[in-house]
Structure 1
Amino acid sequence: MPWSSRRYFDAEPESVGHARDFVAVTLTAWGLRSVVEDVRLCVSELASNAVVHGTRDDHGFLVRLDTHDEDFVRLEVHDSRDVQDSLRRVRVRHSAETDTAGRGLRIVDLVADSWGVEARRPLGKILWARFRAFPDSPEQLVGHVAELPPDASIGTEVAVAPRLLDGREQPSRARRALQ
């Protein structure tokens, strides 16, 4: 069944975290936990780029998720920068180890099954990424195991890892690509 959801965010650094939360909640509600970690990582990179490089004054960015392609989730981040200027600059960089920026699209390239950029009218562009998704099922996923640090208290963020039936953690493509 095809699903689609979108949300507008202000062009502020805090919005990147809100975009990560939006995709995690949406994909979990759709029963697609298998891609949550990968899509969260990619939306973080693309939303960060939109905030820093892709928005005009008084414009934010839009995050859209859909499952119209069978077996795939499509993530889109829409920005508002002038089309010709911004399309020219979209490319994967090969940063040096000492560089503090410039790895975002490299990460998207490693984690997503495919990605690209399209012009958006009247202004801006759409950076998109596709991820092969497998629906949650009792055969695939028993539940989520939260690993709490010893000094955990209320409000502590926890790592939630999907577990296979035999108890092994199901690694995400993001974790495998960045190891």
Structure 2
Amino acid sequence: MKQAKILTQAEQKRVYAVLDAHRYNTRNRTIFAFSFFAGLRACEIAGLRVADVFDGNGAVRDTVYLAAGQTKGDEANTVLVSKRLHKALAAYAAAYPRHVSNSDAALFFSAKRGGFSAQTIVNLFARFYALAGIKGASSHSGRRQFLTELADKGVNVRVIQALARHKDISTTQRYIDYNESKLRNAIELV
């Protein structure tokens, strides 16, 4: 099975430039933030409700609780909100205060003001990667990047497994990318 591409820094900049040129740039940046800074899957992003992410006063929650129906494995889970994701969510609330005030609404709205399906989120990622000229990237690229960056920073694979919400550690290990440069750096530690 072919893995989703992990983006280089130059590719990340190109994607953000494309996102910033779009009408709903803050919404789209926030969708990407959930993928890159929390490792959420497309179905989980699509399933988010305003109340999952913002409290009754409109403040960003520090933990997002996913109900069983919002996850791939039909098991409730939690997602910790990092500072970078918090910043994206605060910008989202500032850009769309009326939308964020409706706690029952889907977190992300379409141009028709309805929510997104998981497939629509997948298509949105594909569209922006294509516009940025990036081949091999998908809605799973941010998730792989999130997990690989944690591994690159020396985070224990069991912690990464918990953050990925994987049942089996071997699944987590398949997400973590390595290349010759990383292998060379590793042998120099001895």
- Could you say whether these structures have the same fold, taking a TM-score greater than 0.5 normalized by the shorter chain as the test? no
* TM-score normalized by the length of structure 1: 0.28
Structure with the higher fraction of residues in helix conformation: 2
Structure with the higher fraction of residues in strand conformation: 1
Greater RCO (CA < 8 Å, at least 6 residues apart): 2
